Chain A
């Protein structure tokens, strides 16, 4: 079952980012905010189906700046005063992918200029949507995740058959299902809807296509014209 399935792309929509709370009265000069950096499935499903562990690399001024998280939720909380870039590295299970994947996120503690005074209740949230794509998954991997809610699995191309289309195997780590919907921070999660973007793109494309058609007409008119025209 190590056969690679060509042209079968399995993708996992993810969201990663930071949520930061101002500590208000409890804030000191070197500890003004408490923040959490995390990576989650875009639909709040369990990412441990593919992710073995996540390593967050923090600013060197933190003790042990390399923080490893081995089980969901893949997040890390800290407190501090400075904004810096956090490197998030995903390590996958061996049947998923040998290579690691690096992401980068800029920690934001302070709200935009015009947001008024800071509040301890309303955090500063910055999230980025992306998708982890496995272009040529092995059969085993495919079988394992084909029905998992975190995964986007296409239909197999016609004619492609699996060598052993048996029932999906449940790997041991699936037992630890963590429902991110119960997470306390989940109330701050953004909702990423592709519908809006698709709509906008479709509208733009229409405009452009209409424009092109007009110009083409104009072009053909000019080209149809005789070279030297005289005014009466």
Chain B
């Protein structure tokens, strides 16, 4: 079906008269394209229209029933085509069926929209009382009254009027529980009065306190008195044991120190800040290295075969820690700390030890290099993991790996050197260089499995036929230089 076919299935043959079933919207010259399609049988590009969607879904055609009832029906306007255009052409281009792309808003709906609600709402200026007020001041405010019923209940904001419960002691209680050498009765009384007045805002209280006392001092006295009172008044200790005033004691010394530290931090200079950051970073490093060593000890003998199937639950995170902590100290680990970390394990498997060594090398040499080492091992017919990992075998295996690494490094060196010489040569000659770029294939695979002996490196055929191979310059002519490195 092409782009102009109707999207929705045609429910069979329809007579043109069907279109009368769907009254067009007033004021809209458009008719649903579906109708047009049916009546003329011409496939029409469907334009999006809410009426079409409703038609398809079988929904009500107009969403505002009032619109239809209230307004007088305009006479149904015949669908006219503009003059000057033949009927067929007009129909072909969509014609009368061209609905606007935007859903239209009925002007009538705009007027109707502020619909009346069922209830009667009015706003009234009414007096109110608040439980938060202790005087009898009569205040007024606007109230939303629904159906002539004013709202009831306390003032909404009264609940925010929280108060602190400052205990009051009797003389007797004071004599019995609350005496303190550094505090006189008068002072304590004054303190409590201020606490009550200022809702335990100790900064303010300290300001107002007649004798000079620090905030910590005042707090300390208040909390200790309250605590003693609570305990004394309670029938048993357990009753008040949950009370935070009883559970925690105020630590004046700690508070003083904390405030001092805070102000020092706040008044730090830029330089001090920098120094602090350095020290912290250093400390972090030390902690990490210590943690790495701890992990090694705690891990004991973790999973020996990291390449084997998924390890058991508890061991897996430890075993993951171990290789990673070993790998995070590449150079050092490779040289000294791997044997150390191994020695810290009371018991381990030989394969695990070998793995650690290999991973240490991986960390320092890089994953690409190690892949090449592995490939070389395979080419040489050596198992990547020894089948019989005895001490001797493991040692040999490691030595072999190191030697291969050396080999690859030298190859790279050689390659670089040759490229260098080549570049020098190219820059000094006007003719285009005839020597091709070295293929990296040779570098990566020094040992090709199908080669019987070693050293018989493949000669690239184009290497010999070169007009003026580099080799001629570098070697005596009797030994044409091969492109491969293995000569």
Spell out A's residues near B (CB within 8 Å): 9, 11, 13, 57, 85, 87, 92, 96-106, 128-136, 152, 192-194, 196-198, 200-202, 204-205, 207-212, 214-216, 218-219, 221-223, 225, 227-231
Contacts and interface: CB of A to CB of B under 8 A. Distances in A.
A207 B393 contact: no
Of residues A87, A214, A227, which shows the largest number of chain B Cβ atoms within 10 Å of its Cβ?
Answer: A214
A231 B345 contact: no
Contacts of A215: 407, 410-411, 414, 485
Contacts of A96: 347
Nearest to A200: B382
A102 B387 contact: no
Interface residues of B, number: 66
Contacts of B347: 92, 96-97, 99, 101, 132-134
A204 B382 contact: yes
Contacts of A197: 383, 386-388, 393
Contact of A222 (B382, B406, B417, B487): B417
B435 to A, nearest CB: 12
Given A192-B387, A222-B418, A102 B312 contact: yes
Interface of B: 300-305, 308-312, 315, 342-343, 345-351, 353, 376-377, 380-383, 386-393, 396-397, 399-400, 403-404, 406-407, 410-411, 413-414, 417-418, 421, 424-425, 428, 446-447, 454-455, 468, 472-475, 485-487
Q: Is the interface of A mostly helix, strand, loop or mixed?
A: mixed
Given A57-B312, A104-B305, A231-B473, A130 B404 contact: no
A42 to B, nearest CB: 9
Contact of B348 (A135, A152, A204): A135
Nearest to A101: B301
A131 B391 contact: yes
B459 to A, nearest CB: 15
B424 A211 contact: no
Contact of A207 (B315, B343, B454): B454
A140 to B, nearest CB: 14
A104 B349 CA distance: 12
Nearest to A10: B347
A218 B414 CA distance: 8
B424 A227 contact: yes
